[in-house]
Amino acid sequence: MARANLPLLALLLFLTQTPAQAQTAHVLHTALPGDALAETSALVVDIRQPQEWIQTGVLPNALLLTFADSAQFLAELQPHLQPGQPVLLICRTGNRTARAAAMIAPQLDVPVVDVTGGMYRLIAEGYSPATPRAAQGCRIC
CA 135, 47, 42 angle in degrees (round to 5)? 70
pLDDT band at 141 (very low <50, low <70, confident <90, very high): confident
DSSP of 37-84, one letter per residue? HHHBSSEEEE-S-HHHHHHH-B-TT-EE---S-HHHHHHHHGGG--TT
Q: What pLDDT shows up at residue 84?
A: 93
- Domain containing 36 equals 27-136
Positive or negative torsion for Cα 17, 78, 4, 33 = negative
What is the number of structural domains in the chain? 1
Residue-wise pLDDT tens digits, 109-135: 999 999 999 999 999 999 999 999 999
Give the pLDDT band (50/70/90) at residue 22. Answer: very low
Cα distance between residue 26 and residue 58, in whole Å: 25
Question: Could you report the per-residue pLDDT of 72-104, keeping only the tens digit for each?
Answer: 999 999 999 999 999 999 999 999 999 999 999
pLDDT tens, position by position, 36-47: 999 999 999 999
Check residue 2 and give its pLDDT.
Answer: 46
The whole-number pLDDT of residue 26 equals 79
Instruction: State the pLDDT at residue 14.
Output: 46
Task: Please list the residues that pair with 44 across neighbouring strands.
Answer: 88
- CA-based end-to-end distance of the chain: 28
Return left, alpha or beta for 94; rule: phi > 0 is left, psi -120 to 50 is alpha, else beta.
left
Q: Quick check: is 8 in a domain?
A: no
- CATH number of the structural domain spanning residue 64: 3.40.250.10
By DSSP bridging, strand 63-64 and strand 43-46 are parallel
Task: Give pLDDT, residue 77.
Answer: 98
In a domain, 18, yes or no: no
pTM, two decimal places: 0.83
Q: Output the pLDDT for position 134.
A: 97
Q: Quick check: 40 and 34 in contact, CB under 8 A?
A: no
**Within a domain: 95:** yes
Q: Is residue 43 part of a domain?
A: yes
